[in-house]
A and B are shown apart, each in its own frame.
Chain A
């Protein structure tokens, strides 16, 4: 059963790649074919993701649905299972898989509108999605890094070709910063695999090595910053976050959705996989520093967002702030805090995806994202406004939506371990209310600026995507246990995480 389920993971991982391969041979003029095909792929992936999430046994072992294929072994320095295609999910990755499915599907629908080189877009998009799934599933350091990079690289072209506002700058900066971050991961991998001296990249094996002292405490402390900085760039760790505002400003809608929605989580996920699980002692040593950075990020993003004039900049900074929470949650090394971080990843994912979807929908019509250009558009775009308000409220941490569930756990965990930082984190949540409501007030409400009388509300496809995302938010907001139960076993079994 376990292995059969492993094939589900393999399918989710390979299907987008196959889709990209197939699309390679579709003529560029067959846009509709590419769209329908992609939509079907997206739907299948959504189904698979939901399956993975639901089939994950909350009460079982943390790692489930494992599948291990020998890949490269017994050559060079590699021993038995040196590099193997080892897939599996734990509670955290099961949750993030669900997130990926939802956001990817929504993104596919949103990309429907693209006319310019639509097919090429989908090719890159699917490669990216495959990278995301791969990173979440990989239980082999080699493949983890493989897919991690795979998820980052297509962004350059996705933003560079289909982006807007200073797209080349944004794309280049984003790509370079993210890949630059992965240098840290790379170095970390070298050091860890070497230090363990097992001739294998297999993560569970290395995790064990990290816990039973095969990787010395000194090395762990030395290497941990590499991993964290490496993953932290992608996670929007302050002060390495500046790709986020610019990158989001440049990126096309569905890329922003997937990027802010899922990709940033790869970074935080990496900190769990490589930081906490692989280097528990290093994590213990460094987590206070991460906590400080996360708190700074949370406050800094929120404060900077207060006076931004561009929608995407607000969301960009807000992402920095929210990913700051994730880092805070991880840094607590407390079950509730870490669970909160995982929940926040999901929450921020769907919420941000929705926000970017909406911004894109508006920008496509208005060709401006300057807040002060707008006013009263609730009159012409009620659905849009409702959706945005929901997203904004989730952002603010309103109970009943996913944001609260996540943030609450983070706060609880933080208060248990570092009360002062918990207070600061909550303060950031309060500031979030200020910038969100400011935007609501300026843009959505008030008298309608006649310039925007012709704006159209969400299209059916956008509505479907938005509803999907809102339902996800509500699901986590209203009924916690399906989410928390799946996390519980995994989180409590993380090394160094206290009860």
Chain B
């Protein structure tokens, strides 16, 4: 018997790792992957909650499905933008896409 908290802790760790990735990595695709990790954690959360607390309506599961769908779309769109960045600047490094600042 796995208590719900385990899932939540796992999700929290994955989420935080994703956050670390976003904060630390320089490659845009990597940043995106880290975001995917975070969204994954969220999905896990939703599903865990749904399974343990709300099995009748399963709102969390629906939510997770939508999150996955949106995440997929987001990846697609973001990668298009990254490719466009690469074409414009020959780099996929987010640190170098810092013309605008201050």
Q: Do chains A and B touch in the complex (CB under 8 A)?
A: no
Which residues of B are at the interface with A, using a C-beta cutoff of 8 A? Answer: none
